Structure 1
Amino acid sequence: MQLDTSRDASLESLLAGQPAVLEASADVVAEGVRRSGRVLIVLDDDPTGTQAVAGLPVLTAWHETDLGWALDTGAPAVYVVTNTRSLDAVAAERINREVVRAALLAAAPRGVELGWVSRGDSTLRGHFPLEPAAIAAELVAAGEPRPAGTVVVPAFPEAHRVTIDGVHYTRENGRWVPVGESEFARDATFGYRASRLVDWVAEKTAAAATRGGAVAAPVIELRLRTLRAGAEAVAEALRAAPPGAVIVADAVVEHDMRQLALGLEIVEAEGQSFMYRVGPPFVRARIGQAPSAPVAPRHAKPPAREGGGITVVGSHTALTTRQLDVLLRERPRATVVELDVPALIGEGGAGPAIRTAAQRCRAALASGDVILQTSRELVRAAGPEQSLAISRAVSDAIVEVMREIIARTTPAYVIAKGGITSSDVATRGLEIRRAEVAGSLFPGLVSVWLAASGPAAGVPYVVFPGNVGSDTHLAEAVAKLSGDVAAGSHEAPTPTSSPTSTLGREA
């Protein structure tokens, strides 16, 4: 999917005076990747980073054997879901280091060269600069060369996040706004003020420095005029970057990211290595994978399976709440089970609420669809750490409910709404350890996984971020997975050219 700037007057005005898009073929990028033999290890801070790719292995555990399984598929990139966006800084650093160690151990006997991606949020939330710094430090500790710099590309055009002249924008309420003025900038844990990426890097680095965790690094911009001058111009700019620089890149369409990928391939072939801190689509551009047609996961539902599927809504973004409202309106026959957040974190404990919710869900799934939601009123805490603690308590309750469900029944599908929710439901609720990214449910949005083994094998698992899609997308997702079409939705075609399920399965 490419943004059609000719139909968006406000975006067209932001692009006034910019050079025309310089097209780049995905096949050309892919050929460079094949020549290098390099495999990207994508440390994904929640599972939503997989929504822009297809046919790649995804891990929710990072033992050396798990990484070995993934590398043996021959895929050009491997996703490791760290879920660090839901964790504190100490845990985030530890997990990043663990993944790097395990990946190096798995790659060494196979003779595989690795590249490193720290996948962050396209709305700039997450542990930055901590996570790239942790990866670099662990590489140095293992005797590997320190990356020459960190390339930051948060753009996600399919979700209406673009970077122009160094300023990152998101589309909110029908208009493009600098991201520092959006609801995402007011995040209780990862809030910020800046919209210009150079300033955002400085803001986040200064905040980390007060905790003894970072030092200032030179920051340079790769603007559209450089990207659209071609790969050699990009390579020249990268060569000129001082050691250890943070390189923030513009991007409006896929071709911008491909030109960056081609420039990176040139300088990396010369011996430099860069680490990437990016939004979801850059990995697709970097490995030369073309956007694939949406999958139609209803076809994965075994004909003999009776009953319904379950949609789990944990995210509290304003968009998620609007999407939930549409879903409830479109599917009045679905059984709604609510987990009351104040009760879950209250003195009485979460046990009674969990047992009641699990019983209601199991009974309802026998004959129809279920919507398991947390109460919509946001419970605020005194600070970021307390906010994370509340999020963990709520997510733990959702996990326990899902464990109770999957132990006694098999839903036709599972949709998990929200980053923390989708990670915990996958790893702890459904016990998904190794999986394949089958593709996306909508063009470039909303990932569909197929588990390699475990109680969820054969059940379409949909990772639905809290901050993407239109107001109707959640209702459309349920309609597709239920095998029907809700009002205003459109049937997704079965892919004919995207990667198919070719990854190995666990014994």
Structure 2
Amino acid sequence: MKTNNRSAAEVFSRIPSPDTSLINEMINKELQSFNRKIIVLDDDPTGVQTVHGVSVYTDWSLESINKGFQEEHSMFFILTNSRGFTAAETTKAHQEIAANIVEAAKKNNREFIIISRGDSTLRGHYPLETEVLKDTVQAMSDTHFDGEILLPFFKEGGRFTIDDIHYVQYDTELIPAGETEFSKDRTFGYTKSHLGEWAEEKSNGKYQAEHMTYISLESLRAMNIESIEQQLMHVENFNKVIVNAVDYADVQIFAIALIRAINKGKHFLFRSAAALTKVMGGISDKSLLTREEMMSADTNHGGLVIIGSHVKKTTEQFGELQKSAAVEFIEFNVHLVLEPDQFEAELNRVVDTTNELILQGKNVAVYTRRERLDLGENRKEEELKLSVKISDAVTSIVKRLEVRPAYIIAKGGITSSDIGTNGLEVKRATVAGQIRPGIPVWTTGSESKFPGLSYVIFPGNVGAKTDLREVVEMLSTK
């Protein structure tokens, strides 16, 4: 069923304003009573787009998870990059992660919650990942999960849930998620915009929309915290809780009721976008990062931008970047992947040119050829294998850098994950903050290829048309 697009201004004007100072005071008080370690599993590196001052681990070894438990901060992230995994790979990864979390929790005598941070436009291995987490944790501990919270609201990216329907904002309009390009994703596509129906569709009818719990905007804005808490106290059999939200205040009010329900013994798993992590982690607002904060040392070298994502927003932003005089462009003809010798020669050309230009103090943008590699019908498996080869080649550009760039920007979730973990060899990074709303920056750890480097993780589907260009020009201004 098609839902009409809605005018964002008109919809938001009808929603009563919240008392933010009262809500801030209440959530801060509630968080003080919440003595649980919050572990966020991030299916690509963009999930830290609302936080700062927290650690991101790029593996899920018991050693890393144990370090996360021992940190002073209540929250840490584990980058799984599982959106780039097969179903079998992500099943294995989540079994390992859950087992190590349970072991580390026992070792540190600490209770925990797990937030599975997924895409705000609903793409990813859902419900597989949270089902595996539930089954593994329950098999290895006394924990029994009552329900799963679904909260894909992400204000910075223009993702709102209203009347149980999830919307993506395009300019002044709200488009139901099931009618956007994201719902046509070849791997993670879906048809429903109503979150209850979406969860029913994704679970092949195992969980039915009519039996789910819905937290309405009306009850949130009326601050009916006790009734929301009661709704949560009645959830059982791992049923789904759909949370409406158009602002952080809605998430905060929900979190107050949620913490009260958890403190009374309820257990939930979470599939959310990045807004919930900011609220549950008690992360303060922070101004956008400046050039001075991001440049750790004076350098005469240029910066590096790598563009791998092919979504419409990336293409528009790339088009704007091409108008900039501050950048030299290198096209990487990845279609040569079909001819291994030519592909190797092309990769060598790109690496050599990139090194030379950065050394000369020029900013370089390496972009993969914009047409998708399409082998035709019934060759998806082959395409996937080739796309892995292409991704490995793009990552190797950073791996083979001989000069330290002034900064690195990676455009696209999977691209930025591979570059962070394989190209830069990061084991643990600190989130410095955001350079634009929803666009996070890592400071790389001492073990990485370039320690203390500012690494900008620029999601494929976030930002205004001019953001990429403006970020590059800001960082390039000496």
The 5 A counterparts of 1:117-136 are 117-136=115-134
Q: Deviations over 1:33-86 (max 9, x none)?
A: 332211111110000000111111101111111122222221121110100001
Which whole-Å CA distance do the structure 2 matches of 1:13 and 1:480 have between them? 35
Q: Paired residue for 1:391?
A: 387
Q: Paired residue for 1:335?
A: 328
Instruction: Say whether the 8 Å CA contact 1:43–1:96 is kept in structure 2.
Output: no
- Does residue 1:21 correspond to 2:5, yes or no? no
**Aligned equivalent of 1:363, options 356, 360, 368:** 356
**Aligned equivalent of 2:433, options 439, 446, 458:** 439
- Does residue 1:267 correspond to 2:261, yes or no? yes
Q: Paired residue for 1:419?
A: 413
Which whole-Å CA distance do the structure 2 matches of 1:437 and 1:144 have between them? 33
- Change in CA separation of 1:345 and 1:271 when aligned onto 2, cut-off 3 Å: farther
- Does residue 1:404 correspond to 2:400, yes or no? yes
Which whole-Å CA distance do the structure 1 matches of 2:452 and 2:24 have between them? 31
SS in 1 for 2:400: helix
| Structure 2: segments with no counterpart, 5+ residues | 1-5
- Change in CA separation of 1:15 and 1:307 when aligned onto 2, cut-off 3 Å: closer
Which whole-Å CA distance do the structure 2 matches of 1:456 and 1:255 have between them? 39
SS in 2 for 1:121: coil
Q: Deviations over 1:218-240 (max 9, x none)?
A: 42221111222322222111122
Instruction: Say whether the 8 Å CA contact 1:227–1:233 is kept in structure 2.
Output: no
Q: Deviations over 1:411-436 (max 9, x none)?
A: 11000100000000000000011011
Which whole-Å CA distance do the structure 2 matches of 1:308 and 1:102 have between them? 41
Instruction: Give 1:20 deviation, angstroms.
Output: 4.3
Instruction: Say whether the 8 Å CA contact 1:298–1:482 is kept in structure 2.
Output: no
Q: Paired residue for 2:53?
A: 55
**Aligned equivalent of 1:296, options 290, 294, 299:** 290
Q: Which range moved further: 149-158 or 337-346?
A: 337-346
- Change in CA separation of 1:347 and 1:60 when aligned onto 2, cut-off 3 Å: same
SS in 1 for 2:323: helix
Which whole-Å CA distance do the structure 2 matches of 1:57 and 1:303 have between them? 22
Which whole-Å CA distance do the structure 1 matches of 2:383 and 2:15 have between them? 41
- Change in CA separation of 1:353 and 1:12 when aligned onto 2, cut-off 3 Å: same
Paired AA for residue 219 in structure 2: T
The 5 A counterparts of 1:152-163 are 152-163=150-161
Instruction: Give 1:297 deviation, angstroms.
Output: 4.4
Instruction: Give 1:16 deviation, angstroms.
Output: 6.7
Q: Which range moved further: 121-130 or 101-110?
A: 101-110
Which whole-Å CA distance do the structure 1 matches of 2:100 and 2:136 have between them? 11
> Percent identity at matched positions?
31
The 5 A counterparts of 1:64-83 are 64-83=62-81
Which whole-Å CA distance do the structure 1 matches of 2:19 and 2:381 have between them? 45
The CA RMSD measured in Å over matched residues stands at 2.1
Instruction: Say whether the 8 Å CA contact 2:326–2:473 is kept in structure 1.
Output: no
The 5 A counterparts of 1:195-274 are 195-206=193-204, 218-230=211-223, 231-274=225-268
- Does residue 1:465 correspond to 2:472, yes or no? no
Paired AA for residue 44 in structure 1: D
- Change in CA separation of 1:298 and 1:309 when aligned onto 2, cut-off 3 Å: farther
Which whole-Å CA distance do the structure 2 matches of 1:401 and 1:108 have between them? 42
Paired AA for residue 91 in structure 1: E
Which whole-Å CA distance do the structure 2 matches of 1:130 and 1:315 have between them? 25
Instruction: Give 1:173 deviation, angstroms.
Output: 5.0
**Aligned equivalent of 2:308, options 296, 310, 314:** 314
- Does residue 1:475 correspond to 2:469, yes or no? yes
Q: Paired residue for 2:111?
A: 113
Instruction: Give 1:28 deviation, angstroms.
Output: 3.5
Q: Paired residue for 1:499?
A: none
Paired AA for residue 479 in structure 1: E
Paired AA for residue 411 in structure 1: P
Instruction: Say whether the 8 Å CA contact 2:58–2:421 is kept in structure 1.
Output: yes
Which whole-Å CA distance do the structure 2 matches of 1:221 and 1:64 have between them? 36
Which whole-Å CA distance do the structure 1 matches of 2:44 and 2:343 have between them? 25
Paired AA for residue 80 in structure 2: T
The alignment's TM-score, normalised by the length of structure 1, stands at: 0.87
Q: Deviations over 1:366-416 (max 9, x none)?
A: 1211101111112235466555434322211111111101xx211110001
Instruction: Give 1:15 deviation, angstroms.
Output: 4.6
| Structure 1: segments with no counterpart, 5+ residues | 1-8, 485-507
Instruction: Say whether the 8 Å CA contact 1:26–1:290 is kept in structure 2.
Output: no
Instruction: Say whether the 8 Å CA contact 1:172–1:182 is kept in structure 2.
Output: no
Paired AA for residue 395 in structure 1: S
The alignment's TM-score, normalised by the length of structure 2, stands at: 0.92
SS in 1 for 2:260: helix
Instruction: Say whether the 8 Å CA contact 1:22–1:256 is kept in structure 2.
Output: no
Q: Paired residue for 1:85?
A: 83
Instruction: Say whether the 8 Å CA contact 1:324–1:474 is kept in structure 2.
Output: yes
Instruction: Say whether the 8 Å CA contact 1:33–1:76 is kept in structure 2.
Output: no
- Change in CA separation of 1:20 and 1:242 when aligned onto 2, cut-off 3 Å: farther
Instruction: Give 1:98 deviation, angstroms.
Output: 1.4
